[in-house]
Amino acid sequence: MNKYRISLILQGLLFLIPLNIYMWGEWIIVDLQWALFRYQQSSYGNSLILGYKDINYIFMGQTTGLYTVLATLFWTTGSILIIIGFLVIIRANLDNRSSILKRASLFTITGGISFGLSALLRFFGGFAIPVGVPIILILGWWMFGINEEPQQPEDEPDDGLSSEPV
């Protein structure tokens, strides 16, 4: 497999791993957050909250508070950046262009940072464990690094004789 397909498979797996685990209060609310949805368990019941629903809760006034709103915006931004990175990797795979693979890595790293900020802001009264965020950052760094071309040494004479005095 070439570096394009490996990047495509690994970027696709980012949508399957839980990114953040949250707990608020005395285990009143526990969340598992993926890139596109959140699973919430509370004394009120269990919920599957898709990303667009979280944005709708803000617009409808059901979600309030600066930290919660910012966490949702960072989560949405991270999801969009990861999706854009995935689409750019598909394009790089189709065109066999490593230059745009580097752009995809920057989208992935920025998305990981955004998910990390979301974890910091999500539950200010509990704790957050960013389980998948380091994986996103490591993958983005790896994709950035595989794009580096080894530097070619300057032209040296092929006859084995050096022009420098001995």
| pLDDT tens, residue by residue, 116-131 | 999 888 767 678 889 9
> How many whole angstroms separate alpha carbon 124 and alpha carbon 106?
28
At residue 75, the pLDDT reads: 93
Tokens of 68: 């919660």
Q: Which residues of the chain have pLDDT under 70?
A: 1, 123, 125, 147-166
pLDDT value, residue 91: 92
111 occurs within a structural domain? yes
Q: Distance of CA 118 to CAs 33, 121, 124, Å?
A: 10, 5, 11
CATH code of residue 131: 1.20.140
pLDDT of residue 139: 94
Q: Is residue 48 part of a domain?
A: yes
Which pLDDT value is given to residue 161? 57
| Residue 136, pLDDT score | 96
State the DSSP code for 83: H
